[in-house]
Every structure is written in C-alpha cells, then in structure tokens.
C-alpha cells in the first residue's frame, strides 16, 4: 500500500493538507467550498471515487467506476458540495453521483473516441472537450441539457473554457519543436484566434480556472531539470505570472501506457494494455499478449494501439503469432517491419491501427517490441 501526499498550492507557498493510503490515486477536483477533495484510486483491483476533507478527516468511499481500466481514464468534478459528475474516456458516459445517498445516474452519453479534457464553466455548467472528435460538449447540470460545439475541429492538445464559455484557452506543442508549448486564445463569439505566448518545457498541463473563469492555472515542467513551476494566466490582461509554487517531478513506477484494442463485431473493444512496466529504454523487450476474445473477420484481425496518458511510446516491432507462424501487419510502416531500433512513436492522443491477415488457428498472440517513457522521471 502506497501513501500519497496531497498538496495545495497558494501563491508563494505550499501546504500539505492530507495523505491518501491506496495502491494508486489521482486527485480530480476541490469542492466549491474548497473543503473537500475528490480523487480516484485503485484498491483491491477496483477503481473507486472517494472524497476526503482537506484536513484528512471525513474519508468516504463513494462510487465504484465499473468502466475504468486505469485511474488515468477517469475524470470528474464537484457539481456542488453534495454531488459530483464523473466520466471515463473509454465509454464516454457522464454520470451524476449523490454523495449522501451514494447513488448515481447516467447524465449524458457521447459518440466517438479519444480522451476528454474538462473544467467547470460555472457552478451549474461543465465543459468537456474530445480531442479526437474535435467537439466541445457543455453540460447544464440543472436542465440536464447537452450543447455540442464544433468550433475547433482542428484543435489538438488541452483546452480550458474561460469566462463562462465565451473564450477558450488551449495549449499545443509546436509542430517543429515538441518542447515549445504554444498558448492560444479562441473567442467563440467572433471566431478570432490570438497567440498569447510560447513557453519552453518538457510538458505543460492546464490545471483549471479561478476568479469566475477570468484566470487559469497551468504548470510547466522544465525540459532539463524536470522541475515544475505553476503559473497564472489573466484573460483580460493576457498576462502570465509565476506563482512561485515550484515542485519536483518524480519518476512514475506506474503501469503500461499504451492501450490495446481489437475489432470485435465491427467496433474496437479495449483489451487492456501492452508493454506493461517497460517504462524506459533499458527495459525494452518483446512482450507477448493473447488476443482474446478476438475472432477473425474474413481472415483479418484489426488492432489499435493508442497512447492516452502523459507518456511517449516507442514501438519497434509488432506481429501476431498463430499456429507456429509469425504474421506481420498488411499496412505495416517501415519502422515496425523489424527489430532494428527504428521506432514508431506515439505521443499522447495518438494511435495506430494495424491489420493482419492470419490463417485460422486456435490462439493468436500479439508480440510487441518496444518501451514507453513517462513524462515524469
């Protein structure tokens, strides 16, 4: 059992407020009163949503998330002090949960693939953005109403809705320099897009909004020192300031990053993960994973490997072994054709789909050679 410190940052100082004892955990949100913490954890092979007071008291296990296969594909926030809203990126269903009665109900369901980024627009509205679908969804918690916007179908990266949905701040890596993080502001009323600033760092994360959506917080991890710094961005003045809340990024000993899916009856079904715990180049090896329940469709097997976490995957070779024979993908990129150190690279939000023509056999085993690198060291 691991002990996870929970830390609260205020400009110029750091406050340790609680500890959470679970196998894995990830803090999702603070309540409107800033007295409760919502977090997701893994305990006894189950994924749970829990709340705890910031002083460490009042722990409550609220809901088991049945659709989850990792803490990273679960997200959520407080609708108010007594209700939460949560969802998983694998199923695209949004639930509302009552903390007092520990009952939940389906709030909305979306189509598509990819991961959501989200934040509160106000006490009654939540915005979710699907990077793959290029759509923004606004959930009105009082009217149980969903509004869909296609205003940025080209957008990649993370985004935050500001000023109750009038503006969107998003950050994306520059095409020619993956360490250059570009911040852009998009006005949903005029369609005007403005580049705010470009910062350099190994990784950037938008954390959330404050001051009724007129300010947001984000942090940058330095590419050389791996030290993180929290910044504030003011929408009206378009200024960025250092909040002097520095922190060190530690190595992640977590599970495998890439997710594996296979086509079953016409749609992709997630089968789990590949390259489990192969989280640096020194550990690179060939991992074998039985493809089940997967059946041939007209003699073809379709698989998808996707990167959904804040890590980078390096694939050197992929093949399927069946009845003693080794099958390579029909649409195989040159970098995946042999084990030669020429890697096919997947960054967060990217995926690759491969087709194999395989003879009928009793068992199919996927052989994947490569490794992944967390953005935390």
pLDDT in tens, 67-109: 777 776 787 878 788 888 887 766 667 888 898 888 888 887 7
Q: What percent of the chain is predicted at pLDDT more than 70?
A: 58
pLDDT at residue 165 in the model: 60
CB burial of 103-121 (b: ≥16 within 10 Å; e: otherwise) equals ebeebbebeebbbbbbbbb
Taking the C-alpha atoms of residue 6 and residue 4, their distance in angstroms, rounded to an integer, is 6
Give the model's pLDDT for residue 315. Answer: 92
**Burial of residue 5 (number of CB atoms within 10 Å: 0-12, 13-18, 19+):** exposed
Domains 1-109 and 143-249 equal at CATH topology level: yes
Could you state, in order of their start, the residue ranges of all structural domains in the chain?
1-109, 143-249, 259-374
CB proximity list for 363: less than 8 A, separation 6 or greater = 290, 292, 322
List own/partner pairs for 114-120 with CB under 8 A and 24 or more apart: 114/89, 114/349, 115/73, 115/89, 115/308, 115/349, 116/75, 116/87, 116/89, 116/92, 117/158, 117/159, 117/160, 117/206, 118/75, 118/77, 119/77, 119/160, 119/161, 119/208, 119/209, 120/77, 120/208, 120/209
pLDDT of amino acid 236: 73
The CATH code that applies to domain 143-249 is 2.120.10.30
CATH of the domain spanning 1-109: 2.120.10.30
Q: What per-residue confidence (pLDDT) applies to 16?
A: 42
Length in residues, the chain: 377
Q: Is 250 exposed, middle or buried (0-12, 13-18, 19+ CB in 10 A)?
A: exposed
pLDDT value of position 307: 84
pLDDT of residue 367: 92
Calculate the average pLDDT of the chain.
Answer: 71
**Which pLDDT belongs to residue 163?**
59
């Amino acid at each position: 059992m691991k002990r996870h410190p929970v830390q609260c940052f205020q400009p110029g100082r750091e406050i340790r407020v609680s500890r959470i004892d679970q196998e894995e955990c990830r803090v999702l949100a603070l309540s409107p009163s800033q007295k409760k913490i919502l977090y997701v954890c893994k305990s006894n092979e189950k994924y749970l949503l829990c709340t705890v007071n910031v002083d460490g008291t009042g722990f409550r296990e609220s809901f088991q998330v049945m659709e989850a296969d990792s803490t990273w594909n679960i997200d959520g926030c407080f609708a108010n002090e007594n209700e939460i809203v949560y969802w998983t990126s694998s199923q695209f269903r949004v639930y509302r949960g009552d903390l007092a009665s520990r009952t939940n109900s389906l709030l909305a369901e979306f189509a598509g693939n990819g991961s959501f980024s989200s934040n509160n627009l106000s006490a009654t509205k939540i915005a979710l953005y699907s990077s793959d679908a290029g759509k923004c969804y606004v959930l009105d918690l009082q009217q149980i109403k969903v509004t869909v916007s296609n205003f940025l179908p080209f957008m990649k990266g993370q985004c935050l809705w500001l000023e109750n949905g009038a503006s969107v701040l998003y950050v994306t890596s520059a095409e020619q320099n993956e360490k250059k993080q570009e911040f852009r502001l998009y006005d949903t009323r005029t369609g005007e897009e403005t580049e705010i600033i470009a910062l350099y760092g190994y990784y950037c994360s938008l954390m959330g909004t404050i001051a009724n959506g007129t300010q947001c917080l984000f942090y940058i991890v330095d590419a050389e020192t791996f030290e993180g710094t929290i910044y504030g961005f003011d929408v009206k003045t378009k200024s960025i300031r250092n909040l002097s809340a520095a922190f060190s990024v530690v190595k992640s000993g977590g599970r495998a990053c890439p997710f594996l899916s296979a086509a079953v009856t016409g749609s992709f079904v997630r089968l789990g993960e590949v390259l489990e715990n192969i989280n640096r180049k020194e550990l690179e090896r060939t991992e074998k994973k039985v493809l089940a329940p997967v059946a041939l469709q007209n003699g073809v097997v379709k698989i998808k490997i996707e990167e959904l976490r804040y890590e980078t995957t390096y694939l050197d070779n992929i093949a399927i072994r069946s009845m003693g024979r080794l099958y390579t993908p029909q649409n195989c990129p040159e970098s995946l054709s042999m084990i030669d150190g020429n890697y096919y690279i997947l960054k967060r939000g990217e995926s690759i789909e491969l087709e194999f023509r395989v003879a009928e056999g009793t068992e199919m085993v996927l052989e994947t050679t490569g490794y992944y690198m967390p953005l935390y060291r």
